[in-house]
Amino acid sequence: MSLRVVHLVTSFDTGGLQNGIVNLINHSDALRVEHVVLSMWPETDLSWRLNAGKVQSLGLERGRVPRAWRRVAEALKELSPQVLHTRNWGTYPDGIRAARAAGVKACVHGFHGRDVHNARGEILRRRVLGRLLAFRTDRIVTLTPTMKREYVRDFRVPERMVEVIPNGIDLARVGEHEADEGLRSSYTVSAVGRLDPVKNFSLLIRAFHACRNRAPTDRLVIAGDGPERGRLEALVRDLGLGSAVVFLGLRKDVPAVLKAADVFVQPSIYEGMSNTLVEAMACGVPVIATDVGGNADVVGRDDEAVLVPSGDTTALRCALERLRDDADERRRLGAAGRDRVTERFTLERMVERYTSLYEEVAGSAVGRPVMEGR
């Protein structure tokens, strides 16, 4: 009999966290684990990508909803999972409280990253509450060693409680796509992600504009959508970049966008483990990324990618200029990145580690009173 695992998310729309859940569900062994995605908010736009499992929405309004945990508890009582897996802070307090009320004995919490408000660290109130919640959690999962160190530091939890499971990438899906030839130019710089302040796409736009060796036919291509789009489009107009910057909106064929690029840039203020960063490397595209969060863990040594300080327009400009004039270096970095992904970030490895974790915590919880250790 398979385990039932409920993944509690704030929303199940486009995002790196959600993409990781899709990959996990689609490649899991149904004889070992049955997955259910429980979205607190109405958005479930990514459901179309699931080949298995099911998605359920509580339909709660965005933001803090009083007694939301009761709605979560009602759903958990109906679903009767052996394991609840909360994802990021927005689901953690309500999820743990709901699990206790619903009699769910095994809880896993996933730390996937931060937003612009806590990019430099957690506020005191959240640190205190997070430490208390940890005593009611069987295991905490981060995506990179750097994220584990941050979590242990911020919430003062024992290192043994925190397990690192990197996201895996579906190499077969990446291989199915050919480059979108319409995006090629004399030098195509690509970026992919939600247009959100923490992604800091304005840094990339300013650095691209400042490049001293930029040709009129060079292009910056940005795939994604979000609340910052209007502001970023206004910045492009103010800088006089015109058609040199192309906003593609949401794309379902991200590998096709990446394969058309000469360079991929990740300019974020903070990243946990960026799926698009890994995907770009898998496509053989050389990477420039800000040295924040888990980016260094993903890209590896300096000879496998280019890391620049966060918020440093000049450093990013210099990296763009250097790679524009050095095709051999671009090819070398692209090959090194592709090799790193195939060695370290396979989907099969990720799925097996999560499956083993769920089986372990569920087995440890058998016969345990709901209140014990919670």
Answer whether residue 194 is part of any domain: yes
Answer whether residue 334 is part of any domain: yes
Per residue of the chain (374 residues), give pLDDT as tens: 789 999 999 999 988 899 899 999 999 999 999 999 999 999 999 999 999 999 999 999 987 788 999 999 999 999 999 999 999 999 999 999 999 999 999 999 999 988 766 766 778 899 999 999 999 999 999 999 999 999 999 999 999 999 999 999 989 989 999 999 999 999 999 999 999 999 999 999 999 999 999 999 999 999 999 999 999 999 999 999 999 999 999 998 999 999 999 999 999 999 999 999 999 999 999 999 999 999 999 999 778 899 999 999 999 999 999 999 999 999 999 999 999 999 999 999 999 999 999 999 999 876 666 544 33
Answer whether residue 370 is part of any domain: no
Counting the structural domains of the chain, the total is 2
Answer whether residue 372 is part of any domain: no
Q: What is the value of pTM for the model shown?
A: 0.88
Domain extent for 214: 171-344
Q: Indicate if 40 and 87 belong to the same structural domain.
A: yes
Answer whether residue 227 is part of any domain: yes
Q: Indicate if 51 and 75 belong to the same structural domain.
A: yes
**pLDDT at res. 122:** 79
Q: Indicate if 251 and 149 belong to the same structural domain.
A: no
**pLDDT at res. 115:** 73
Q: Indicate if 121 and 12 belong to the same structural domain.
A: yes
- In three state form, how does the secondary structure of the chain look? CCEEEEEEECCCCCCHHHHHHHHHHHCCCCCCEEEEEEECCCCCHHHHHCCCCEEEECCCCCCCCCCHHHHHHHHHHHHCCCEEEEECHHHHHHHHHHHHHHCCCEEEEEECCCCCCCCCCCCHHHHHHHHHHHCCCCEEEECCHHHHHHHHHHHCCCHHHEEECCCCECHHHHHCCCCCHHHCCCCEEEEECCCCHHHCHHHHHHHHHHCCCCCCCCEEEEEECCCCHHHHHHHHHHCCCHHHEEEEECCCCHHHHHHCCCEEEECCCCCCCCHHHHHHHHCCCCEEEECCCCHHHHHCCCCCCEEECCCCHHHHHHHHHHHHCCHHHHHHHHHHHHHHHHHHCEHHHHHHHHHHHHHHHHHHHCCCCCCCCC
Q: Indicate if 26 and 43 belong to the same structural domain.
A: yes
Q: Indicate if 354 and 336 belong to the same structural domain.
A: no
Q: Indicate if 153 and 219 belong to the same structural domain.
A: no
Q: Indicate if 154 and 181 belong to the same structural domain.
A: no
**pLDDT at res. 121:** 72
Q: Indicate if 80 and 213 belong to the same structural domain.
A: no
Q: Indicate if 146 and 196 belong to the same structural domain.
A: no
Q: Indicate if 51 and 29 belong to the same structural domain.
A: yes
**pLDDT at res. 369:** 65
Q: Indicate if 253 and 130 belong to the same structural domain.
A: no
Can you give the CATH number for the domain in which 9 is found? 3.40.50.2000
Answer whether residue 139 is part of any domain: yes
